[in-house]
Chains A and B, each alone.
Chain A
């Protein structure tokens, strides 16, 4: 009787130890792979944008940028604020920089329009939560990319993004995209489908061909808008963005969150 219970005891102990070690290693493996595939790993280079808030006060400049983006990416025009698709748009200063707002700030500053878009963060929370890796931070150039083929429309990324940079396609966008007389859309950029999330991609498809992002190009063509948006690579010491960042006072949105935005604002 005694030997039997001892035998049972040993068996149970061994089983428990085995279970613990297996469970432990599974957990460790899961955590490690999570770190490898999610969040801000090191990037080889990083595209970045600098927005001059003074120059972008001109509505013509902002409008040109928004229009260029809509045409370049076949973005549908949806009036309903609950359903609209936005890649780059206006927000009020007090909402863009809530931690910079104080009681003595005049109203016209609080309500001044500021251009906002995806920040292509160093440590993007949207990427951490995506269950299918439909969105990820591309090592080659630091762009937070999206693959619509993989997106399952769970909208975790929208909940995770502290900047509201992402939009969900509640309906088929195609009928609401601008078309010419032949019924063609403005660009060859794939339209999206119902049930996927989208956002600014820093014009990865244009960068690939050596072009500047559509909004940057458009701003530079508006009289007085030259340099309202600047774009370049942080890994290139001679780039325009690096020169501006090292010589002027710039801020980013909600620094305390630690996301590391790559869209900078000249104050």
Chain B
């Protein structure tokens, strides 16, 4: 029983370390970082699909476009479920012709979400920007 003190001391250190991310943040008085400030295209009302879908699933939509266009050779344009508008299945031609400043939109949000997509290692902005 003489080790009781040591054991509780060790446990206390363990609990303090494990919960550090929570109380560390609180004691520093930090609020959560603001959402990424994104610049939206000025002359467009809506994206290809509605915003919550695009925010959550744009990467899946892009993969779907790639498979349909390149693998299946489907030359028809993509029809939006939002308003029936049609769009070429193209990251450079469709997405980036609207979101002209890639850094003020894609990169800013990817940085906020701490994701590192590899799209731009190959794909260019319209006009061959690398």
Contact = CB atoms under 8 A, between A and B. Distances in A.
B121 interface: yes
A32 B50 CA distance: 42
Interface stretch (A119-127, A154-162, A186-194, A227-235): A186-194
Q: How large is the interface on A (under 10, 10 to 19, 20 to 34, 35 or more residues)?
A: 20 to 34
A138 B73 contact: yes
Contacts of A136: 71
Nearest to A147: B70
B122 A191 contact: yes
A66 to B, nearest CB: 19
Contact of B73 (A74, A141, A149, A183): A141
Contacts of B121: 191, 193
Interface string A135-160: 01011110001011100000000000
Contact of B129 (A141, A148, A184, A208): A184
Given A174-B130, A183-B130, A190 B124 contact: yes
A219 interface: no
21 contacts: A74-B128, A136-B71, A139-B73, A140-B73, A145-B70, A147-B70, A174-B130, A177-B130, A184-B129, A184-B130, A188-B124, A190-B92, A190-B123, A191-B122, A191-B124, A192-B122, A193-B118, A193-B121, A193-B122, A208-B69, A208-B75
Given A183-B129, A185-B130, A191-B121, 19 more contacts: A74-B128, A145-B70, A147-B66, A147-B71, A148-B122, A174-B130, A177-B130, A179-B130, A180-B128, A184-B129, A185-B128, A188-B92, A188-B93, A188-B127, A190-B92, A191-B122, A191-B124, A204-B70, A208-B75
